[in-house]
């Protein structure tokens, strides 16, 4: 099978140590935060304007829409509007990192929702091209320390973006942002006789992507990784990006069994590379690419959120996803600064 063509296997890398959350002291006081807090630098005028009603979802900030009031956006402009309609909680925020995962590895842990299948590699079938996705793992590159809050809704949003294990449980929490791409103007409509050249085309981010959250017990035995007691959620993530992403054509090899689902016009006649009587075909495929200097506004519909301890805790939250670094060093900073009441 072609690398990247299948849904991810179920395993993940260890969580990063040394986790800390940055917060203003007034936020800590208002929400009853219990952990160590690293003060931020604020201007005197901002300090004066801060009130002791700071928090995340329900620490006294009554502005913005409630989790039950979300009208799902239908255009990128409406994503921006919904983001603006959420409460600011007096400039509270959480910042984390996203690390692109361009391959399916033994340490991969993500899957698309059954109703929206997608993969890291796409090819044309009799009914059209498969959906492409850019998978990004929620990581913790030098951001924040764990912070607790007495408010259940506040804690639920924090836990969604924090390494967390419920008391008495052996399950950990893992999360990925799955950025779906809209279908692009495909560089090839048939397999070229002269062979495939790498060609690129712009591809806008789909309006609806997903935050994939997985709860599982990770067991390592004899060098193998096994996940037990797995549950996962796919929370709709509405997105509006300043720049389109890209798709790139590449050739991939498929054997006679695998090629049955591919449009024959997109493949060569095949050769018996292994001399086993089965032909191997070179076919036109596409993959998604990240682009430098991009920023996306997002809103996550977590109205169906169930926390790791099994409690339903509806919430809506939004923020920005911004590139940092370039080329192969590209990663993302994800900031949440808007919350439902």
pLDDT category at 55 given cuts 50, 70, 90 is very low
For 228-275, give the DSSP string.
EEEEEEEEEEEEEESS-EEEEEEEEEEETTGGGGS-GGGB---B-TTS
| CB contact set of 138 (below 8 Å; sequence gap of 6+) | 96, 97, 98, 161, 174, 175, 176, 177, 334
**pLDDT tens column, 269-319:** 988 887 777 889 999 999 999 999 999 999 999 999 887 777 888 889 999
State residue 39's pLDDT score.
34
Confidence of residue 146 (pLDDT cuts 50, 70, 90): very low
Cα–Cα dist 280/270, whole Å: 5
Q: Which residue has the higher pLDDT, 5 or 14?
A: 5
For 204-243, what is each residue's pLDDT tens digit?
999 999 999 988 888 877 777 788 888 899 999 999 999 9
pTM, two decimals, is: 0.78
Pick 198 or 55 by higher pLDDT.
198
Retrieve residue 74's tokens.
């239908």
Closest to 214 (Cα-Cα) out of 63, 11, 43:
11
Lowest mean pLDDT among 83-87, 132-136, 145-149, 286-290: 145-149
User: Where would I find the H helices in the chain?
Assistant: 25-31, 44-49, 76-85, 152-160
Backbone φ/ψ region at 195: left (φ over 0), alpha (ψ -120 to 50), beta? left
Residue 131: closest CA among 115, 154, 147: 115
pLDDT band per the 50, 70, 90 thresholds, residue 161: confident
Q: Report the mean per-residue pLDDT for the chain.
A: 78
- Collapse the DSSP code of 94 into the 3-class scheme (helix H, G, I; strand E, B; otherwise coil) and give the result: strand
Determine which of 26-30, 104-108, 322-326 has the lowest per-residue pLDDT on average: 26-30
Any idea where the domains of the chain sit in the sequence?
A: 25-246+291-339
Decide: 137 and 176 in contact? Cβ < 8 Å.
yes
Give the separation between CA 2 and CA 285, rounded to whole angstroms.
10
pLDDT computed for residue 184 by the predictor: 85
Task: Give 244-271 pLDDT, tens digit per residue.
Answer: 999 999 999 998 888 888 999 999 998 8
- pLDDT tens profile 11-30: 333 333 222 233 333 333 33
* Per-residue model confidence (pLDDT) at position 126: 87
Of residues 173 and 203, which shows the higher confidence score? 203
């Amino acid at each position: 099978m072609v690398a990247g063509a299948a849904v991810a296997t179920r395993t993940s890398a260890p969580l990063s140590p040394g986790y800390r959350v940055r917060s203003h002291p007034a936020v800590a006081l208002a929400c009853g935060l219990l952990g160590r807090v690293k003060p931020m630098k604020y201007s005197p005028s901002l300090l004066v304007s801060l009130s002791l009603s700071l928090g995340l979802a329900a620490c006294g900030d009554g502005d913005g829409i409630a989790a039950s009031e979300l009208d799902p956006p239908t255009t990128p402009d409406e994503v921006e509007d919904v983001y603006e309609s959420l409460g600011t909680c007096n400039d509270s925020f959480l910042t984390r990192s996203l690390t692109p995962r361009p391959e399916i590895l033994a340490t991969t842990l993500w899957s698309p929702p059954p109703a929206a299948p997608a993969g890291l590699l796409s090819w044309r079938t009799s009914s059209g091209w498969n959906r492409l996705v850019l998978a990004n793992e929620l990581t913790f590159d030098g951001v924040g320390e764990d912070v607790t809050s007495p408010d259940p809704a506040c804690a639920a949003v924090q836990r969604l973006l924090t390494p967390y294990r419920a008391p008495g449980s052996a399950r950990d929490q893992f999360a990925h942002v799955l950025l779906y791409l809209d279908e692009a103007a495909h560089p090839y409509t048939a397999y070229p006789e002269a062979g495939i050249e790498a060609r690129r085309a712009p591809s806008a981010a789909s309006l609806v992507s997903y935050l994939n959250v997985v709860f599982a017990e990770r067991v390592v035995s004899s060098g193998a990784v096994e996940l037990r007691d797995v549950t996962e959620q796919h929370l709709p993530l509405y997105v509006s990006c300043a720049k389109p992403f890209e798709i790139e054509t590449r050739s991939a090899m498929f054997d006679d069994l695998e090629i049955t689902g591919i449009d024959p016009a997109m493949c060569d006649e095949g050769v018996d590379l292994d001399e086993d009587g089965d032909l191997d075909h070179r076919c036109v495929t596409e993959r998604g690419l990240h682009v430098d200097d991009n920023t996306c506004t997002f809103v996550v519909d977590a109205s169906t959120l169930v926390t790791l301890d099994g409690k339903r805790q509806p919430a809506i939250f939004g923020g920005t996803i911004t590139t940092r670094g370039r080329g192969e060093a590209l990663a993302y900073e994800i900031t949440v600064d808007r919350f439902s009441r």
